[in-house]
Amino acid sequence: MTKRFYEFSEIDKFLCYYSPKSPYGRNEKEEEAFYCETDKLNGIFDRIEQMISFVERYPQKADKIEYHLMRLPELNPNIADGNIRSELFNVKKFLHNYKQISHEFEIDFYSEELLKSLGHEDSQEESFYLKDDYSADLSRVRKQLREINSQLNKSKEKRVGEIHEATDLDFRFLNFLIIKENEIPPNSDSFIFLEQHDKSSVMVKPIFGKEFFLIHNLRKELLESEAGIESEILQMLKKQIIVEQEKLNTYIQTIIDLDTSMAKARLAIQFHCIRPRVTLLENLEFEDLEFIPLKEKSTRAKRIYTSLSVSFNEKNNVVTGSNMGGKTILLKTIAFSQLLVQQGFFVPARKISAPLFDSLNLIGMVNEDSNSGLSSFGEEILNLLETGKVGTRLYLVDEFARTTNSREAFALNCALLQWFAEQETVFSVTSTHLDQLPNFKCLSYWTMKGLDYEKYRLYYHRDKNRDLNERINLINNYMDYSVKPLVKSEVQKDALKIADILGLDSEIIKNAEKYLKNEEYNHGE
């Protein structure tokens, strides 16, 4: 699948509503998986179906599961010593939330012992803290540290009180003060230490005395001892996690499946999507297929949106029709739908049958600037050269060679259609303005129904002042965007009417009609 095909489909405007909650689900979304096997896809679709049923039947459980999915951290498979605590925290938080999910969704959870080792038993919280009772040594050294801290605080408090009494200097809230040089308290040498601050002030710090520093040094030794014991415990916990790594990987895969299925289920419910029927080498069929980006745009602009219903009876199909008749939108709708199917989503339609392709290819323009220095025609040839060469392929061709002269355009289109017909594993949908293209095997012709002449005749009045938006709305009101098999004698030519609605000078329209009549006369029409 090419990037161009992806952009042409505008699928991003729909997938912005697809929101997996966990980092694993979000990573999966970023990967934009593309499936070509029916078994794999049907497995995904089965999960989505089950999830739709679960979400509709147990909405509160579904909400709770999503809450816990959001809280899952991403685990690092390699726990380095420098980040051991943060990784142990992450494992504990992961297991805590996975356990809650397993309870709601009734799936197995095998890591009670590990969770208990990580301190979950008492608090049932996500936080991580090496409690004293991890080991007798840790308990002992921490008790000593608490006692030492208490001694230090008392000693400090006492000393700060003595200094305050002797010098009026209050060190309760800060370890230093700034005072004027001429305000240094007399006889304070044994209480405070002085440092120059600027020309007229000094910084004073309390002197705590030998006893205080002896206790402080003992504290340092105890801290080193504590660090050593903690390190041993952390290493032991790390080993336990390594032993359980396979289970953790299983949980992660379960989360990916659950999270993505739930998010796809939500999307399907929101947009009334159905499960597609996936096939190999059968023809494309759609009933009320909705191109959501356009549907939403139409709703905002208060225009009518027409869904796509067509059952292509051949693998190659040509679609003709008036300007602004919906040919490009038809192709975009097919691109949108095919991508959804092959990325494992349900589709907003009443019914859809789609063959699976190894590659999806676009010959046509997308909304991007070309930096290659090629003309539009040059770009189209480049697109053709870059398409997949093997396997089953879908080609969507949007008015190929429209910018070159009409004779060569006709020749190129005929040749391309012939080539499509000769490839057994190529499917195509081609939009074109060209008339009288030849018949080939496995090729059928279709047309957009185009302007409803009756409505146009009854309701269109040229003289009214209208802005562009109103004119586009008019076209939208008169246009029938549905597609039907082409009967060659009924080819619609609506370009002049469209130009007229859009406001082209009436003189030009009249002259164009004259040329058209002459052309038709010369060709015996």
Eight-class DSSP state of 133 = G
Spatial distance between the Cα atoms of 492 and 142, rounded to a whole number of angstroms: 90
Nearer to other proteins, 146 or 510 (CB): 146
Rounded distance between C-alpha atoms, residue 422 and residue 356, angstroms: 19
CA-nearest of 58, 117, 4, 37 to 391 is 37
Nearer to other proteins, 186 or 373 (CB): 186
> Cα(first)–Cα(last) distance of the chain, in Å?
44
Whether 414 contacts 421, CB under 8 Å: no
- Segment interacting with other proteins (CB under 8 A) among 13-21, 24-32, 80-88, 350-358: 80-88
Amino acid 249 reads: N
Question: Rounded to 5 degrees, what angle do the CA atoms 25, 26, 31 make?
Answer: 95
Stretch that binds other proteins, among 59-67, 87-95, 275-283, 339-347 (CB under 8 A): 87-95
Output 93 or 497, the one with its CB closest to other proteins: 93
Contacts of 16 (CB under 8 A, 6+ apart): none
- 177 touches other proteins (CB under 8 A): yes
Strands 177-180 and 479-485 come out as unpaired
The interface with other proteins within residues 16-35 (CB under 8 A) comprises 23
10 Å Cβ neighbour count for 415? Answer: 10
Q: Confirm or reject binding of residue 100 to other proteins (CB under 8 A).
A: no
Whole-number Å distance between alpha carbons of 60 and 54: 10
Closest approach, Cβ 196 to other proteins, in A, equals 10
221 binds other proteins (CB under 8 A): no
Is residue 178 part of the contact set for other proteins (CB under 8 A)? yes
Would you count residue 168 as binding other proteins (CB under 8 A)?
Answer: yes
Query: Binding segment for other proteins among 60-68, 89-97, 298-306, 492-500 (CB under 8 A)?
Result: 89-97
> Is 448 in a helix, a strand, or coil?
strand
3-class SS of residue 20: coil
Nearer CB in complex with other proteins: 53/231? 231
CA 39 to chain centre: 24
Q: Report in angstroms how near the CB of residue 145 gets to other proteins at its nearest.
A: 7
Looking at residues 256 to 315 of the shown chain, list those that interact with other proteins (rule: CB under 8 A): none
201 binds other proteins (CB under 8 A): yes
* Binding string, residues 39-78; x marks residues near other proteins by CB under 8 A: ----------------------------------xx----
Report phi then psi at 200, rounded to 5: -120, -5
Residue list 109-128, contact with other proteins (CB under 8 A): 126-128
| Sheet strands (E) in 420-486 | 426-431, 443-451, 479-485
Contact call for residue 214 and other proteins (CB under 8 A): no
Please identify which residue in 136, 174, 374, 411 interacts with other proteins, judged by CB under 8 A. 174
Closest approach of Cβ 16 to other proteins, in Å? 19
Between 231 and 311, whose beta carbon lies closer to other proteins?
231
448 forms beta bridges with 483
Of 417, 399, 414, give the one whose Cα is nearest residue 329.
399
Name residue, tokens 């030849």.
438
Q: Whose Cβ is closer to other proteins: residue 86's or residue 250's?
A: 86
Shortest distance (Å) from residue 128 CB to other proteins? 5
> Which residue, 46 or 125, is less far from other proteins as judged by CB?
125
Q: Does residue 198 belong to the site contacting other proteins (CB under 8 A)?
A: yes
| Closest approach of other proteins to the CB of residue 179, in Å | 5
Q: If you write DSSP's letter for every residue of 58-89 in order, what string do you get?
A: -HHHHHHHHHHHHHPPPPPSS--GGGHHHHHH
Residue 37 binds other proteins, judged by CB under 8 A: no
For other proteins, which residue of 12, 165, 170, 221 counts as binding (CB under 8 A)? 170
Q: Under DSSP, is residue 358 helix (H, G, I), strand (E, B) or coil?
A: coil
One-letter identity of residue 441:
K
Q: Is 86 in the site for other proteins (CB under 8 A)?
A: yes
473: which 2 tokens? 């709305």
**C-alpha–C-alpha distance, residues 446 and 74, integer Å:** 51
Give the residue, chosen from 15, 36, 70, 145, that forms a contact with other proteins under the rule CB under 8 A.
145
Q: How far is the CB of 182 from other proteins (least distance, A)?
A: 12
A 10 A CB-CB count for 11 gives: 24
Q: Is 223 in the site for other proteins (CB under 8 A)?
A: yes
Token reading at 404: 């070159």
Calpha distance 105→62 (Å, rounded) = 9
CB nearer other proteins, residue 199 or residue 210: 199
Judged by CB under 8 A, does residue 184 bind other proteins?
A: no
Q: Which stretch binds other proteins (CB under 8 A): 29-37, 174-182, 406-414, 440-448?
A: 174-182
Contact residues for other proteins, defined by CB under 8 A: 23, 73-74, 82-83, 85-86, 89-90, 93, 126-129, 142, 145-146, 149, 168-170, 172-174, 176-179, 183, 195, 197-201, 203, 219, 223
